[in-house]
Each structure stands twice: as structure tokens, then as C-alpha cells.
Chain A
Amino acid sequence: MNFDLADQADKFVMLLGGLVAFVVLVGGLLLVLDVIPTKLAERREARLAAAADAGVPIAPGAARGREGWLALGFLAPALLLLSIGLIFPAIRTTVLSFMNGDSTRWVGFDNYTWMFGQPDIQNVLLNTLVWVLVVPTLAATIGLLYAIMVDKARGEAVAKALIFLPMAISFVGASIIWKFVYAYRSGEQDQIGLLNQIVVWFGGEPRQWLLEEGFKLNTLLLIVIMIWIQAGFAMVILSAAIKAIPAEIVEAAKIDGTNAWQMFWRITLPAIRAALIVVVVTITIATLKVFDIVRTMTNGNYDTSVIANEMYNQSFRYGETGHGSALAVFLFVLVIPIVIFQIRNIRKQRSEA
């Protein structure tokens, strides 16, 4: 199939039209919301000045009411989009989770009892738990250790770039790379998988890694991929935080004769606490939603499924909207405490600052 640019002209025109519409709409909105308040403010100042000249006091409430409307004007587009894209679907999903597969009948809590009653869904929940416990902990730890190790070392930029690179690859791309790492060929053939080749070099038998369900080995092997991607993210944020520690403090600590161990626990860690929390929270939320890796690597077979993958399968492939919605609601409930924790944390920092 050859691509004829002229043939696609009408698509480009449509694209251009879309862009123009966007500029006109958003630009116009910004203009209106910027120009009007400025004008209003000018007029108010003029009025205030006139009133001051005349010696008549003006009630402050009138101006504030108008500002409230203005704030609403600014917020309205965002609120509208949020409610269309987020709030309404969240309510709808919750409602659907109390209905049957094709959303025609109320079933009460059946979908939730199904979720906690089915052995293979229990296994899905357990897998998600393993993911959430392991990924943020290891990714943050590895990122932190790496950041400290390469800090002010020679070739720091290159070392950092190396571990940051996986961040730039999509989850699906990363999964395909790792699929080759875990690939299996029987003993008598040449191995194409890196891991099995190493095993063979050491005289072992090649194994079908993704089928190894014992000790959740296959799930852990999938987790490695997520860590591989996220450690770079953790490293970048933490490295920036380390560099932001005031030099005087480090200096003073050195003069006081701290060793590396004390330096880490007493100085570095408390100083980057806020950044560390951001990293852990972000990675935790990303891990709860993990979907691409599992879908690409095993599609949830061999007992490796996680909530997001099961949710997609139930809703869209099996037509069991009720089951899928219940899983979605459960995932939502899991994320809420983390978000609350993060908000409180930010508030606390703000009041400390």
C-alpha cells in the first residue's frame, strides 16, 4: 500500500480545521478571561480612586462577589471536562458494579462476592498485592542507591542516562524486550533467550520461566520489568533532591566527623524525605494500574493476572460488565488512601514551609 499525500489532503484539512478551532476556542476563552478581569480591575481601581477622592467608602463585598463569578468562569471548563471524563464515568461504573453482566438487572453485591469468592480472582488480587508491595519498594531503593552511588562520580551523566533509558520505552515495548530475555527453546536447540542461555552456560537445563508458578516466580519475573522501567524515574527525582541538599549542611556534618553511614541516615534521608514519598506514591499508583506488561507477556495466563488486566477482560472481552465494574471500583478504593496520604503530606509540607 503506497501512501499518497494528495489523497489524504482532506484529512489534513480536517486536522487543520481542528487546530484552528482549538486555537480560536481556547485562545478566545483565555483572552476573555484575561481581558475582562483586567478591565474590571482597572474600572474598580478608577472607581475606588474616584470614591477616595470624593471621600465615600465602598463596601468590599461587592467586588469579591464579582471575583467569585470570575473564578467560576476559569474553573467551569475544567469542571465540565472533569465531570464528563471522570466523575460521571466513576458514578456510572459504581452503578454498573451492582448490575449483572449485560447491565439489565440489579444483583446487589453479587459481583463483589464473586470477586472475593472465586479462587482465580483471589489469585488476581493476591498478585496485585505482590506487585504493589515489591515494585515501589525495590524501584525506589534501587533508584536511591544508584543516585547516591553516582552522585558527583566521574561519568555521572552517562551512568544516569543508562538507567534512565528504559523510562523512555513504552511498557509494551519493554515487555517485548523482556519476552526475549525469558524466551525458551528446548535443551537440544540453540537458546534465543538471554536468561536461559546464561543457565545453559552454567550447565543447567533451560526453563520455561513464565510458566514457573512456584513462589510466584513468574509474577516476580514480570515485576522485574516494571522495576527496570521505574528505577530510572526514582533515580532522577531522588538525584535532584540529593543535589538540592544545602552544601553547608553537608559541610557541617563532615566537619563534625560523620561517616558515610551516618551521613546517609541522618542527613541525606531526612533531607530528601518529601521527594522519596512522591516517588513511592507515584510508583505505587502506577503499579496498581499495571496492565500493559501482564497483557503483553502472559495475558494473565499461568496465574499472573492482575486487577487491571482482569477488569479489561471481564468488561470488554467476556461481556461481564458487572464483574469488570466491581473490579474497577475495588481498584479505585485501593487508590483512594494513597491519594489522601499524598494530599495530607503536601498540606503538611506547605504549613511547615
Chain B
Amino acid sequence: MAVKSRPRQALAVATALGLVLTAAACGGGDDENSAGTGDCSTYEAYKHDGTEVSIYASIRDAEADLLEQSWAEFSECTGIAINYEGSGEFEAQLQVRVDGGNAPDIAFIPQPGLIKRFADSGKLKAVSAETKTQAEANYSADWLKYATVNGQLYGAPFGSNVKSFVWYSPKTFTEKGYKVPTTWDELIALSDQIAGAGEKPWCAGIESGDATGWPATDWIEDVMLRTQTPEVYDQWVNHEIPFNDPKVAEAVDRAGTILKNDKYVNGGFGDSKSISTTAFQEGGLPILEGKCTLHRQASFYANQWPEGTKVAEDGDVYAFYFPAIDAAGGKPILGAGEFTVAFADRPEVQAVQTYLASGEHANARAKLGNWVSANKKLDINNVQNPIDKLSVGILQDASTVFRFDGSDLMPASVGAGTFWKGMVDWINGGKDTAGTLKYIEDSWPK
């Protein structure tokens, strides 16, 4: 194949970077997690000279470059050339490629529902014994469950994100004397205080191209985890209770007390209907102009702030934990992440899959910046920005009650279809809560 030149280029960059990092690591007198030593002995077990492995995922642009850098040394030492391809149409195109007999060797799939579909149709290969050992050592059973279908493990978790965050401006908070709310009641009291001053406390946006609606499903899931127990949440996601169960309606209505409240939203954009036409990338930006104060969005929203914005506890923007309603239930966390699944079981493919599940890779990738993973071997000192550090800390905290993004667990026709669409109609006022939930329930595949 004809694409050998790019990895080599990336390799040069990565090697240079590796050297710098090594220097830094040595200076700190810290030679643990030394993923940038240029020493190939670490990779001895993975060696498969002159082979190629293709990887397909939805990660693109700058983040894709970082990914390629993160495995450049592995690639050089083991002789396994990794051809990475990122696509904005990943979910639809993966299906097309698999159906067309042109499946990638490895895919990073962010939806357990999709993993189940491919596994059920016999397209996916179960992981090798080495990958399984590695994954079980590095990830909690909760996380592994999402890539397990019929008792078989199909992949290890990879990158992750934490969704239960509310973004705010520490500067504004100090200026106006607001306090970071730690309970739901404090959050509502703060919202009322801001609304009372004639300002809009919240801003939100759920437009996201053909994925329009997903940020609203995160809202519902996050509130659902707070009004109900994690067990009820699981029942809801697995369709053991109907989608329009009164417990779900309660959560939707509670989210509605913020999202559909014209006194609360939509700072800087218009009335509550404008949520459905505001791009999620722009949703929180009015915080910087003081047009709104609060924006519930995942850890990865850190990448959306304009260049020069300081993301830190004492900076322009930061995020606090979206408070629990009942403190007795612990700290529920909504999150998501990709899983490395393989469509081929050649030894070099398994070697790459094993490496990606290892602590070495997680640390090598974290050092390059913008990385959160639930990998237990990930050293928090290697994580670059403060919000990523906070996220990794939460993910590694044993007392955290973690639940995976519900819409990603549901069948695609609901989780990526009617749930998204239904939320758009709900925000719009096209359907009320009962109508929306019934519409979604009716669409659940039989």
C-alpha cells in the first residue's frame, strides 16, 4: 500500500517530542511510565516486523495527529505500521465498510450498542488472552462490561470523558460573589438569584449536524442518575422498564425546569426554543461575554473555548461537578468513551490491541495533552490540563458511581435516532414530555 510516508514523518516529530519528554522525565528524577525513552526493549513482546494494521475511528484533525504520535514509537520498535483514518461519518461508514467486506482491522467504537450489533452478527473478533489480561488489569469491571457481549470481551476501553460537569467562569463568580453550588437546591437557588437580577443563568445548545439532539439526551441521563438509583437507570437503558415510565418522565420534567424555563435559558441566544438551533460547540461561549453563567457540558468542552482562554480553577472558565439531588446516593457520574474492537485476529492486530489497552500507551498519549482515560495505570501527573486532571481523578476514584451514556447503550434507532429527535421536538414544544417519551417507546426495535 502507498501510505508509508506519513507515519514516518509523524515518527520524526514523535521521536523529537519523545526526547524532550525523556529529558523532562529524567529532570524530575521520575523514570516510571517512561514511554518516550527511545528504548525498544519495552515493546519486545509486540514485535511483528513488516506488518500493517489499519485503524478507523471518529477522531480527526489535531486529536488524530496526537494519537498517531502516541503510537509512533511503538510502531517503529515493533515494525507494525499503523494506518490511522478518522472520519466524521464514522458510525454510518463503518457499517458500510463492514458490509462491503472492507472492514478496518481495528475500530474505536464509542457506542456499546454498536459493538453489540457487530458482535451479534459475528463480525467482531473476541480479544486475545493477552489483551484480556491487560484490559482486566487496567480497567474496572464496570468499563469492561460495556464491551462484553454474551460473556465474550470484544475490546478494551480507550479514551473517555466525564459528562457531569457544569461550566462556569471563576472570574464572574468572584466578582458577583456567587458560590460554587454543591447540592441541587443550591444550584437552583443560584439560578433563581441570577434570574432575579434580570439575567439568564443558563445557556445551552444541542445542534450538532446530523447528531442534533445528543446534548439534550445527556441532560436527561444525568438528571435520571440523580432522581433514580443507578439500578433503575440500568433498567431504563436495557428497556426493562418502558421508555415512558413515570420515573423517566419525572427526570425529563426536572430537566425541563431548567431547559424549558424561559427565565433560565437561553443566555445570549434567545428563548428556550433557540437551544435546538444553537450549535453545541457555541452553546457555552456566552459565558465569556457574561451573557450566561452556567453551561452543563462534558469535560471535552474544554477544547471549544477560544484560543487564549484560561481553563483553570482561577482562570476564565472552569467546571464544577453537576450536583447530586440526594447526597445519600453518592456521586453519580455520567461519562462515555471509545472501545478498541477488532475485525481481524492476525497476531499483529492483537498486538496493537493489547498495546492500546496498556498503561504505557495511556501515559504516552496523556503526555501529549487532551486525554482522559479510565485506565488505572494512567499517572495523573502525566495529564495536562486541569479539567482532564479533574476528570481522571473522578474516574479513578473508587467511590464514584459511574454510568455510561445511556443513548450510546441503546439500539442505534433509539439512541442515535428517536431519542435525539424526540429531544429536539421536546425542546421545541412540538411534543410534551408524555408525547415525546411515548414516541421514543414506540420506536424501540422489537
Q: Which A residues are closer than 8 A to B by beta carbons?
A: 4, 7-8, 10-11, 14, 101-102, 104, 118, 120, 184-187, 208, 210-211, 213, 295, 299-303, 312-314, 316-320
Closest to B120 in A: A102
Please tell me if the beta carbons of B95 and A11 are within 8 angstroms of each other in the complex: no
The distance from the CB of A303 to the nearest CB of chain B, in whole angstroms, is 7
Q: Which B residues are closer than 8 A to A by beta carbons?
A: 2, 5-6, 9, 91-92, 95-96, 114, 117, 120-121, 209-210, 212-213, 269-271, 273-274, 276-277, 411-413, 416-417, 421, 424-425, 428, 430, 439, 442-443, 445
Kindly list chain B residues whose C-beta atoms are within 8 Å of the C-beta of A120.
421, 439
Kindly list chain A residues whose C-beta atoms are within 8 Å of the C-beta of B209.
299
Main secondary structure of the interface of B (DSSP, over half): helix
Kindly list chain A residues whose C-beta atoms are within 8 Å of the C-beta of B213.
301
Kindly list chain B residues whose C-beta atoms are within 8 Å of the C-beta of A104.
121
Please tell me if the beta carbons of B270 and A320 are within 8 angstroms of each other in the complex: no
Within 8 Å by CB of B270, from A208, A299, A318, lies: A208
Please tell me if the beta carbons of A186 and B271 are within 8 angstroms of each other in the complex: yes
Kindly list chain B residues whose C-beta atoms are within 8 Å of the C-beta of A295.
210
Kindly list chain A residues whose C-beta atoms are within 8 Å of the C-beta of B269.
185-186
Please tell me if the beta carbons of A210 and B277 are within 8 angstroms of each other in the complex: yes
Kindly list chain A residues whose C-beta atoms are within 8 Å of the C-beta of B95.
316, 319
Kindly list chain A residues whose C-beta atoms are within 8 Å of the C-beta of B270.
184-187, 208
Report Cα–Cα, A318/B274, bound state, in Å.
Answer: 27
The distance from the CB of B182 to the nearest CB of chain A, in whole angstroms, is 32
Closest to B430 in A: A213
Please tell me if the beta carbons of A302 and B412 are within 8 angstroms of each other in the complex: no
Kindly list chain B residues whose C-beta atoms are within 8 Å of the C-beta of A213.
430
Report Cα–Cα, A301/B420, bound state, in Å.
Answer: 9
Known A-B contacts A184-B277, A295-B210; the reply to A318 vs B416 at CB < 8 A is yes
The 9 closest A-B pairs by CB, nearest first: A186-B270, A318-B413, A316-B92, A7-B5, A10-B2, A299-B210, A318-B417, A318-B412, A301-B424
Given contacts A102-B121, A301-B425, 20 further A-B contacts (CB under 8 A): A7-B6, A7-B9, A8-B5, A14-B2, A101-B413, A118-B443, A184-B270, A186-B274, A208-B273, A208-B274, A208-B277, A303-B430, A314-B413, A316-B95, A316-B96, A317-B91, A317-B92, A317-B210, A318-B412, A320-B413
Report Cα–Cα, A139/B366, bound state, in Å.
Answer: 56
The distance from the CB of A45 to the nearest CB of chain B, in whole angstroms, is 51
Closest to A104 in B: B121
Kindly list chain B residues whose C-beta atoms are within 8 Å of the C-beta of A316.
92, 95-96
The distance from the CB of A118 to the nearest CB of chain B, in whole angstroms, is 8
The distance from the CB of A309 to the nearest CB of chain B, in whole angstroms, is 9
Most buried by B among A8, A102, A295, A316: A316
Report Cα–Cα, A213/B431, bound state, in Å.
Answer: 12
Report Cα–Cα, A104/B212, bound state, in Å.
Answer: 30
Report Cα–Cα, A314/B418, bound state, in Å.
Answer: 11
Please tell me if the beta carbons of A11 and B2 are within 8 angstroms of each other in the complex: yes
Within 8 Å by CB of B277, from A14, A118, A211, A319, lies: A211
Please tell me if the beta carbons of B413 and A301 are within 8 angstroms of each other in the complex: no
Please tell me if the beta carbons of A101 and B445 are within 8 angstroms of each other in the complex: yes
Closest to A323 in B: B413
A-B pairs with beta carbons under 8 Å apart, 8 shown: A4-B5, A211-B277, A295-B210, A302-B428, A317-B92, A317-B210, A318-B413, A318-B416
The distance from the CB of B253 to the nearest CB of chain A, in whole angstroms, is 22
Report Cα–Cα, A320/B413, bound state, in Å.
Answer: 7
Kindly list chain A residues whose C-beta atoms are within 8 Å of the C-beta of B276.
211, 301-302
Kindly list chain A residues whose C-beta atoms are within 8 Å of the C-beta of B442.
118
Please tell me if the beta carbons of B274 and A184 are within 8 angstroms of each other in the complex: yes
The distance from the CB of B444 to the nearest CB of chain A, in whole angstroms, is 12
Report Cα–Cα, A7/B270, bound state, in Å.
Answer: 50
Report Cα–Cα, A302/B121, bound state, in Å.
Answer: 34
Kindly list chain A residues whose C-beta atoms are within 8 Å of the C-beta of B210.
295, 299, 317
Please tell me if the beta carbons of B5 and A302 are within 8 angstroms of each other in the complex: no
Report Cα–Cα, A301/B413, bound state, in Å.
Answer: 15
Kindly list chain A residues whose C-beta atoms are within 8 Å of the C-beta of B121.
102, 104
Kindly list chain B residues whose C-beta atoms are within 8 Å of the C-beta of A300.
421
Kindly list chain A residues whose C-beta atoms are within 8 Å of the C-beta of B439.
120
Report Cα–Cα, A210/B270, bound state, in Å.
Answer: 15
Kindly list chain B residues whose C-beta atoms are within 8 Å of the C-beta of A186.
269-271, 274
Within 8 Å by CB of A320, from B114, B273, B445, lies: B445
Kindly list chain B residues whose C-beta atoms are within 8 Å of the C-beta of A118.
442-443
Most buried by B among A211, A313, A318: A318
Report Cα–Cα, A42/B189, bound state, in Å.
Answer: 98
Report Cα–Cα, A276/B445, bound state, in Å.
Answer: 46
The distance from the CB of B156 to the nearest CB of chain A, in whole angstroms, is 24
Closest to A303 in B: B430
Closest to A10 in B: B2
Report Cα–Cα, A301/B96, bound state, in Å.
Answer: 24
Closest to A213 in B: B430
Please tell me if the beta carbons of B413 and A302 are within 8 angstroms of each other in the complex: no
Report Cα–Cα, A314/B92, bound state, in Å.
Answer: 10
Closest to A101 in B: B445
Report Cα–Cα, A120/B413, bound state, in Å.
Answer: 14
Most buried by B among A11, A186, A319: A319
Report Cα–Cα, A153/B274, bound state, in Å.
Answer: 47
The distance from the CB of A314 to the nearest CB of chain B, in whole angstroms, is 7
Kindly list chain A residues whose C-beta atoms are within 8 Å of the C-beta of B96.
316
The distance from the CB of A163 to the nearest CB of chain B, in whole angstroms, is 30
Report Cα–Cα, A10/B417, bound state, in Å.
Answer: 42
Report Cα–Cα, A81/B121, bound state, in Å.
Answer: 30
Closest to A1 in B: B65
